Amino acid sequence: MFKKIKKCRLCKNDKLNIFFNLGNHQPSNSLKKRINETIPSIPLKLLFCNSCKTVQLADTANPKLLFEKYVWVTGTSDGAQKYAKVFYSRVKKKLTKKKSFIFEIASNDGTFLNVFKKKGNRVLGVDPAKNISIVANKNGIKTLPEFFDENLSNKIKQSYGSPDFIFARNVIPHVEGILSIVKGLSNLIKEDGTVAIEFHYSKKILNELHYDSIYHEHLFYFSIQTLTNLFKKYKLLPFDVDKSPISGGSLVIYFSKKRKNIKTKLKNLINYEKKIKINSLKTWKKFKNDSKKHSEKLLNLIKNIKLNHNIFGYGASARSSTLLNYSKINHSYLDFIVDKNPLKSNKFTAGTNIKIISPMLAKKKIKNYKYCILLAWNFKREIIKDLKKLKFSGKIIVPLPNKTKIYEI
């Protein structure tokens, strides 16, 4: 089920400091078909490597357990679909050819690759979730149902050639065999090509208290420094950066084999990291203490509201699992959670046993409710629109970023 690490996954140093123990959690996407179904729990602890300064989980869950039957589908999010077009417009400026070969790691249902394909580019994806790879292939996005690593990069190179552009969105922090992946990227990309890595930025996690982003799929919590130090070891050099709305605040860093002038905006972010000491254990310990206080206040708020009103949730996201379990908010407090992903409908949340229902089923129920907690708070605008369509006219509890707020809609 899991194994405890004895050395840093990146630098192999054994000077590790566990600073945040969130307890034992069932894998966040291990939704149950029956409320009494038994799913083993796995420790969820953050540690700090005193050598390379990388923050990571102390235990590695079996990746087959986490990813082979995945329930997040990119195309179900309106926000992700809009961002796919924005992402393409940014990447287009970096491509040297009109018709390029584009490769995506962890391509999910092919939402992002589809934009490139429509513009005439040749595309290829790889994703270990067999159920979602089938969907992508049916939709005309050639997708290999495998885990990407150095060996697979050689096979792709022989069968399809070297891509002009490779991107990996919020996946590099998920993989135990990260060194093999970065080697594979360096091996596969064309000599004049570009690699783009999107990751949930640790500055956002720290500054806005995203403790709900800590779950078993997320092995690493990167800063610019810790990520670029890793890639430089395999001759991939950073030269540019963009901001992304995904996960409530991510960055996309662009790498190349050829040395390029580093853009001013990237230099400024690197300098700012040093100024506020992102890569220090003291900073991360403060984050732990602040997270504990926040979760306790959130539970007390929910308890007080529950005395007079029933509450439901919206968004059975992976991050909601950590928020609910760490704050000890279970089915005793929330009657159900609404989610428009059909793969989650009629299942129960991991550890907290809250029923997940479709928006269609929720439409009749929520007329009688005054309170809704936005569990997928990073999609706040999108969810508020959905709630209005469902004729909900009560109050919404937005637990993060920073502090819990309540709004009328």
pLDDT in tens, 16-43: 999 999 999 998 888 889 988 888 899 9
Task: Specify the range with the lowest mean pLDDT, choosing from 28-32, 63-67, 294-298.
Answer: 63-67
Mean pLDDT of 277-285: 97
Ordered by start, the domain boundaries in the chain are 2-58, 74-273, 283-408
Mean pLDDT of 155-180: 94
Task: Using the predicted structure, report yes or no on whether residue 72 has a pLDDT greater than 60.
Answer: no
Read off the tokens for 124: 């290829």
Beta-bridge mates of residue 45: 21
Residues 6 or more apart in contact with residue 87 via CB below 8 angstroms:
112, 115, 244, 252
Q: Which residue has the tokens 């993060």?
A: 400
Mean pLDDT of 219-248: 95
Task: Using the predicted structure, report yes or no on whether residue 70 has a pLDDT greater than 80.
Answer: no
Mean pLDDT of 49-77: 77
Task: Using the predicted structure, report yes or no on whether residue 317 has a pLDDT greater than 70.
Answer: yes
Element (H, E) at 60: strand 59-61
Alpha helices in 161-312 (DSSP H): 178-188, 202-208, 224-232, 264-276, 281-306
CATH architecture of 74-273: 3-Layer(aba) Sandwich (3.40)
Q: How confident is the model at residue 294 (pLDDT cuts 50, 70, 90)?
A: very high
Asked whether the domain spanning 283-408 has the same topology as the one spanning 74-273, the reply is yes
Q: How confident is the model at residue 136 (pLDDT cuts 50, 70, 90)?
A: very high
Condensed to tens digits (0 to 9), the pLDDT of residues 73-103 reads 565 667 788 899 999 999 999 998 889 999 9
* Biggest CA-to-CA distance, the chain: 65
Q: How much is the pTM?
A: 0.90
CATH number of this structure's domain 283-408, picked from the four choices 2.30.40.10, 3.40.250.10, 3.30.310.50, 3.40.50.720: 3.40.50.720
Q: Are 171 and 200 in contact (CB under 8 A)?
A: no
Q: Are 358 and 386 in contact (CB under 8 A)?
A: no
